[in-house]
């Protein structure tokens, strides 16, 4: 795993794009603060840049660096949650402008997966995470279901967990309003 992390770090630091395992499904990722890298992810996915992508962090303590004000309910949800959950926060900041939704929100998930946590911790910045598929195609449940063409479009394909055939599923998605109101978008 360390060799994979070192190679992925090198690619992320140079503005490249990786294909990597997350705490849910395999993802396409890049430096979430690099607008050119984010643009390339949209191009690889053949996705309109107005369609949201989320970012992964390894620690909720970093949220204040990327969100103006973390609503109190967010801390309660993070603490109580026992499965992957993406929270959509108002007031995104310090991220690539083409990653922030037109309403100023950003989806953030705190990853509990060992590889991703170590990668983000060493990178010291959040990374983009979007399903490893061409926009409109089904999301792959494991590495073996990822389109071969897509694998050739990224700069590095992580080897860790390629032989894991367990079917993964996407995270729940909850949108949090400025006043702490919540809206469940996906269970």
Domains of the chain: 2-186 (3.90.870.10)
Banded model confidence at residue 52, pLDDT cuts 50, 70, 90: confident
Residue 51 reports pLDDT greater than 80: no
For position 41, what pLDDT does the model report? 96
Q: What is the mean pLDDT of residues 167-186?
A: 86
Nearest Cα neighbor of 61 from 52, 53, 70 is: 70
Give the Cα separation of 127 and 34 in Å (integer): 10
3-state secondary structure of 99: helix
The answer to whether the pTM exceeds 0.75 is yes
For position 5, what pLDDT does the model report? 96
């Amino acid at each position: 795993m360390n060799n994979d992390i070192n190679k992925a770090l090198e690619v992320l630091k140079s503005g490249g794009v990786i294909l990597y395992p997350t705490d849910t499904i395999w993802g396409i990722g890049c430096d979430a603060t690099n607008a050119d890298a984010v643009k390339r992810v949209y191009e690889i996915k053949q996705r309109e840049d107005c369609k949201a992508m989320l970012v992964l962090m390894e620690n909720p303590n970093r949220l204040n660096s990327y969100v103006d004000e973390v609503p109190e309910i967010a801390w309660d949800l993070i603490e109580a949650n026992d499965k992957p959950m993406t929270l959509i926060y108002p007031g995104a900041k310090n991220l690539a402008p083409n990653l922030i939704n037109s309403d100023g929100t950003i989806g953030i998930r705190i990853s509990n997966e060992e590889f991703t946590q170590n990668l983000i911790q060493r990178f010291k910045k959040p990374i983009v995470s979007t399903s490893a598929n061409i926009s409109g195609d089904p999301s792959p449940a494991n590495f073996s279901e990822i389109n071969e063409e897509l694998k050739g479009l990224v700069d590095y394909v992580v080897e860790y967990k390629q032989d894991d055939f367990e079917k993964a599923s996407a995270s729940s998605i909850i949108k949090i309003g400025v006043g702490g109101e919540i809206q469940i978008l996906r269970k």
